[in-house]
Amino acid sequence: MFNRVTFEKEAYFGGARFEAYTSFSSASFRGKATFAPTYFEGEVSFSEASFQSSSNFLQAEFKGTAQFSSTKFQGRAGFGYAIFARAASFFFATFAAAADFRFAMFQQLADFSHATFGDYVEFGARDKRTVFGETSSMDLQYTKYTHPDRITFNSLTLRPHWFVNSDPRKFGFTDVEWRGTVLQEIECLKNMQQTSPHRLLAPPYNLLGIAIRNLAVNSEENHRYEEASDFRYMAMEVRRVQIWRGFVPWRLSWWYWLASGYGERALRALLGLVVIWFVAGLLYTRVGFVRWEARIATESDVARAKRDDVVAPLKFSRALTYSAGVMTLQKPEPKPATTVAQTVVLLETILGPVQAALLALAIRRKFMR
Give the model's pLDDT for residue 305.
Answer: 46
pLDDT given at position 198 = 53
CATH of domain 266-367: 1.10.287
DSSP 90-143: -TT-EE-S-EEEET-EESSEEE-TT-EE-S-EEEE-SSHHHHB-TT-EEE-TT-
C-alpha distances in angstroms, 261 versus 295, 331, 353? 47, 30, 17
Q: Widest CA span of the chain, in angstroms? A: 118
Helix (H) or strand (E) holding 45: strand 44-45
What dihedral do alpha carbons 46, 49, 52, 56 form, nearest 10°? 0
Residues in the chain: 369
pLDDT number for residue 199: 63
C-alpha distance from residue 160 to each of 115, 142, 235, 287, 368 (Å): 19, 15, 10, 51, 23
Task: Tell me how far apart the alpha carbons of residues 66 and 84 are, in angstroms, rounded to a whole number.
Answer: 7
Whether the CB-CB separation of 263 and 365 falls below 8 Å is answered with: yes
Say what the pLDDT of residue 292 is. Answer: 55
Can you give the residue ranges of every domain in the chain? 6-247, 266-367
What is the rounded CA–CA span in Å between residue 3 and residue 24? 5
pLDDT (tens, 9 = 90+) of the chain, 369 residues, equals: 899 999 999 999 999 999 999 999 999 999 999 999 999 999 999 999 999 999 999 999 999 999 999 999 999 999 999 999 999 999 999 999 999 999 999 999 999 999 999 999 999 987 766 789 888 999 999 999 999 999 999 999 999 999 999 999 999 999 999 999 999 999 988 888 776 655 666 678 889 999 999 999 999 999 999 899 999 999 999 988 888 778 889 988 899 999 999 999 999 999 999 999 999 999 999 998 886 554 555 555 554 444 444 578 999 999 999 999 999 999 898 889 889 999 999 999 999 999 999 999 999 888 766
**Cβ proximity of 260 and 359 under 8 Å:** yes
pLDDT of residue 312: 83
> Are the beta carbons of 140 and 163 closer than 8 angstroms?
yes
Return the pLDDT at 118.
95
pLDDT of 276: 96
pLDDT score recorded for residue 125: 86
pLDDT at 367: 78
